[in-house]
Amino acid sequence: MNTLFQIVILTGFLLAGGLIWRLRLAPPARYTDQIIKLVLRALLALMGFRLGNSRALFARLPEIGLMATITAAGALLGTILLINLAYSLFARQARQADQAARSADRSVPTAARRLTQLRDPGLLLLMVVLGAAVGLLLPEFQRLDYGLVTGWVLNALLFMIGIQFAQSGLSLKTAFVRLDTLLVPLATVVGTLLGSLPVAWIFGLTVGKALSLGAGFGWYSLSGVIISNLGDPLLGAAAFLANLVREAAALLLIPFLAAGRYPYTAIGAGGATAMDVTSVLICQTVGLEALPVAMASGAILSLLVPILVPLCYALPF
């Protein structure tokens, strides 16, 4: 019941943001973006503080890093395999998408551009590190209700994300026009979750908790905070790092995947970031034809994150 309530609350704030935009009460898009960045930094700094301030959690940092790395690797591998399988099963439609993608003009991104794309994730990671450093230096706060504080800040973040999504003008109607726009996100969801399963056996977690680690689909800043807010800061830190590693690895893998048999596999590797961070790289390496699919796939996956993460986490097995 608590998980269902959490999903309703998170989804409610997301929808409320869209409603505020429709009522023309939202701030301009440039301010929305700045507010989201500030709230994100505050949330991640608090998550880092919670990690550093708990001596027991901080001592398990190597375990968190290993768990995150295995989760990211499994999620990416599962996604790549499932998208290839899905496209091979729908050979005719896949061939049409391949021909369009291969006929598009492609360019190889420079190392400088890739470094620029890694700048924002690097800054957010720095906020976690700074928060952890402050928490480590200060005495432990036993009575601080982290859940209450992060809960309201998280609600504010989703409210602003709802506004931002509405301001972007993205329409999910395109997802039902072409098979690709549904095939890529569906295969990404299934592949990511299947790829995350081994984490349960390796680290002795429940299947649900292992699935929740991968269910961020690369949206590290949200998935980690949601899990931490559910009362598991260790798993929250692992989810943050796992999805951060997934995004960074996707930026490196996308050019190679785009040159493969099914170029749209690159979109799945980007996960939720295919609509923003990795979209430019996808267009450069796969072609402009891939942009509608990337935007729709990223949007669908982003909307699933606040639903699937707590839902998977609450699974009793």
The pLDDT tens digits for 168-227 are: 776 656 555 566 678 899 999 999 999 999 999 999 999 999 999 999 998 877 888 889
User: CA-CA distance, 258 to 264, in Å (whole number)?
Assistant: 7
pLDDT tens profile 116-139: 656 766 777 888 889 889 988 888
Say how many Å lie between the first and final Cα of the chain, rounded: 16
Q: What SS3 state is found at 215?
A: coil
Residue whose pair of structure tokens reads 């899990």 in the numeric block: 227
**Count of CA atoms in the C-beta half-sphere (13 A) of 103:** 7
Q: How far, in whole angstroms, is CA 14 from its chain's centroid?
A: 16
Average pLDDT in the 34-47 region? Answer: 82
pLDDT tens profile 294-316: 888 888 898 899 899 999 999 98
Give strand ranges (E) for 132-193: none
Structure token digits, residue 9: 């609350």
Sign (positive or negative) of CA dihedral 135, 136, 141, 146: positive
Largest pairwise CA distance in the chain: 63
> In the chain, where are the structural domains located?
2-313
User: CA-CA distance, 189 to 233, in Å (whole number)?
Assistant: 24
User: CA-CA distance, 270 to 4, in Å (whole number)?
Assistant: 28
The torsion angles phi and psi of 315, rounded to 5 degrees, stand at -60, 135
User: CA-CA distance, 131 to 26, in Å (whole number)?
Assistant: 30
User: CA-CA distance, 200 to 196, in Å (whole number)?
Assistant: 8
